[in-house]
Chains A and B, each alone.
Chain A
Amino acid sequence: MTRERVKLQQVVDGLRSEGLMPENSDANVAAFFENLHETQPWYIRTMVGLGAWLASLLLIGFVGSIGFAADAGFVIVGVLFIGGAIFARMKSGNDFVVQSALASSLAGQALLAYGVVEISGGNDFESVLSIVIILNGILFFVFPDRTHRVLSILIAMTSLGFLLYFWKYNAVVPIMGPVAAAMMVFFYKRQGVIIESGKGHLIRPLITGLMLTAFGFLLLSTVYILPELRWEFAFYPRPWISTILLGALLLYMGTQVWPQIGDVSGSPEMAVFYGLLVVITAAAWAIPGLLLALVVIILGATSGNRVFIGAGITFLVVFIATYFYGIQVSMLTKSISLVATGAAVLTARWLLLKVTAGHIEGGASHA
């Protein structure tokens, strides 16, 4: 039997009856519902977005074809594009303006970076990446658009990744994914505080950007370099570092879940629960992406966030597919790792449902 899902209006009514609504909030509630109704379907937004991107390419072509007497011209036009985009986005929420502003900002960043490269003689890679990181750090707060904020985090973190490779700090790369994931969990758990402080508009792009960053770094762990290329370059040295760090994060997520399903702390059931998480971590020694997927799925499940649950499942499938084709280990090793982890997960499910069955009426039927 499917449970009837709660309507948003019922949530508002519930908050009102509990006296949790701010004073004089009726107009804001009405405006909120009106905007919900006015949102265009995704395919019209996609069409508008594609149109805006094509138009921005033509604009870049126009600027490029004009040419400038000095390379600083590209920097100036880039800054103008970014400034104009911020201004337009602040003034209007119209779909086309939103997408045009997004495209103009990215085009402006490309022109700005190109100008800097040209001025520096085309060899100051570090400066360009540093400028991009700082610029996107600022744009995250300044540019009033959710998609742009997500892209700002992704662009900044990708640039940081390039810088790490450029400085030959490859050893740090396996830490980046788990750090991004830990930050994602931290901010996710503090959503209420951030919303109360009036910065609620930053929270969703922030955690989405961090989640995608973590996904991106973990996918690097599956990069496979053909031996014939004889390229001695470690994209992702010692992936087990990621496994250990993400395993710790999974244990932390366990502390959020156990009080919901288990008995008092210190019980033998709790020891079994944490023991199982350790076993899953050990089984996934060569598959750190699996642990990240589990963390994201559990995080989504803690607050009914279907986007996070879906993203975690999608990443799991993508990671397994890339793991299947990538990583410099034999198919037999991959097979053993995958079957062992799968068996550990199924055993965990069986044991968890068994040990928690005693606490819940009818729970035994789950196992």
Chain B
Amino acid sequence: MTKFNTVASHSNVQELATKLGLSENAYSSALQLAELTPGRIDWLRYINHFLAAIGALLIVSGVTAFFAWNWADLGYMVKFALIQAGIAGIALLAWRLGIDSMGGRAALFSSAFLVGVLFAVFGQVYQTGADPYGLFVAWSILMLPLAIIGRQAALWILFQTLLILALIMYWTQVIDPPNGWWQLAQLLGPLVWLSSTLMDSTLASLVFALNAAALIAWEYAVNRNVAWVLGRTYPRVIGFGALSNVLIPTVVFVIGASFGEATKLGVISPALYVTASVAALYYYQFRRPDLLMLTMLVFGAILVFTTLIGRYMPMDTGSILMLAILLIGQVAGAAYWLRNVSHQWEAES
């Protein structure tokens, strides 16, 4: 898209008016020329769509609050009936709206999500004694057909998340149950606990392998020109996850090593990080141009390099200043390089 094809929006018309010092009358005309001031039909469309959406949102929230109010008192048959009716109703809605429409996609995703809620309630009612990883395995198996039918990134991201949760649960409940500060992390909430699982290089590497495999499979499908995988949301989200799985343990490994602490972190994380980063930098610069992926990779490299330098510097006041200057230089250099790469792609296209 060239600069002259930029679509008029409220913000860029306002900016244009400010830069040119337009009169009040001219600014008002500019908004009208950009068709940003709605007419009668537009207002009716707004009223039709917005008020319907807001009203529906409020009523659904109110109904949810009603069930939350007396959930404990509801019989288990009523609970199952409610959730199963929800799954069936929403799936029906997806079919009626068409699974490729915006509403249909949202409905299909909600249906896949409610499958997990059903399993959770099942475990709550019958107290089966099964390990929680079983919930995520069963959930992922049952939602897989929906993901295949739905052909949308959000459903596949949910599927991938469930696989990762199942792996983490299996590892921490069966293979290597947590101890010490891991148990404390568990008390601080699910997010803190999940992040703390990255402090075990073996587990983090397995999660990385799962993400990397999914990313490679997706990019392979992109290369085969499969139409519904051409959006970049899935590879970027999974790519960010895969990078975090090796970047965070690497940074902590570098910092932790300087304090001589015995941790579950090993050289496998830095080794995987370096290998994956080099491969991804090559792929996303030369094979499938993706500036966002390159930005993530470069920023990761800056973090690791700065941490490494910080570790070997003497611990004094001058070092802090040196680190600040080094960081400023690296980020400025990275921004310059990314801009050049972007211009190069533009010139080649």
What is the interface of chain A, defined by CB distance below 8 A to chain B?
3, 5-12, 14-15, 18, 20-22, 25, 28-29, 31-34, 36-37, 40-41, 43-44, 47-48, 50-52, 54-55, 58-59, 61-62, 65-66, 95-96, 100, 191-193, 195-196, 198, 200-201, 203-204, 257, 260-261, 290, 294, 297, 301-308, 316-317, 320, 324, 330-332, 334-343, 345-346, 348-349, 352-353, 356, 359-360, 363, 366
Contacts and interface: CB of A to CB of B under 8 A. Distances in A.
B12 to A, nearest CB: 6
B47 interface: yes
B299 interface: yes
B133 to A, nearest CB: 28
25 contacts: A7-B7, A8-B6, A15-B29, A15-B30, A15-B33, A20-B25, A33-B3, A44-B291, A51-B330, A55-B328, A55-B331, A96-B328, A196-B27, A198-B21, A201-B18, A260-B40, A304-B36, A304-B37, A306-B10, A339-B62, A341-B58, A342-B62, A346-B56, A349-B55, A360-B44
Interface in B39-57: 39-41, 43-48, 50-52, 54-57
Interface of B: 2-31, 33-41, 43-48, 50-52, 54-66, 68-69, 291-292, 295-296, 298-299, 302, 317, 320-321, 323-324, 327-328, 330-332, 334-335, 338-339
Contact of A191 (B21, B27, B323): B27
B322 to A, nearest CB: 9
Contact of A47 (B56, B299, B317): B299
Q: A interface, by DSSP: helix, strand, loop or mixed?
A: helix
Contact of B51 (A302, A304, A345, A360): A345
B47 to A, nearest CB: 5
A8 B8 contact: yes
A335 B19 contact: no
A307 B57 contact: no
B35 A304 contact: yes
A195 B24 contact: yes
A11 B33 contact: yes
Given A11-B33, A48-B331, A304-B9, 8 more contacts: A7-B4, A9-B4, A47-B334, A62-B317, A65-B317, A204-B14, A335-B66, A352-B51
A20 B65 CA distance: 55
A48 B327 CA distance: 10
B30 A11 contact: yes
A348 B47 CA distance: 9
B338 A44 contact: yes
A205 to B, nearest CB: 12
Contacts of B25: 20, 192
Nearest to A29: B20
A357 B150 CA distance: 38
Contacts of B46: 301
Contacts of B45: 366
A320 B66 CA distance: 14
Contacts of B3: 33-34, 36-37
Nearest to B64: A324
A7 to B, nearest CB: 6
A342 B317 CA distance: 60
A366 B44 CA distance: 8
B328 A195 contact: no
Nearest to A61: B320
Q: Give me the 7 closest cross-chain CB pairs, A-B, nearest first.
A: A342-B58, A304-B36, A200-B18, A338-B62, A51-B331, A339-B62, A192-B24
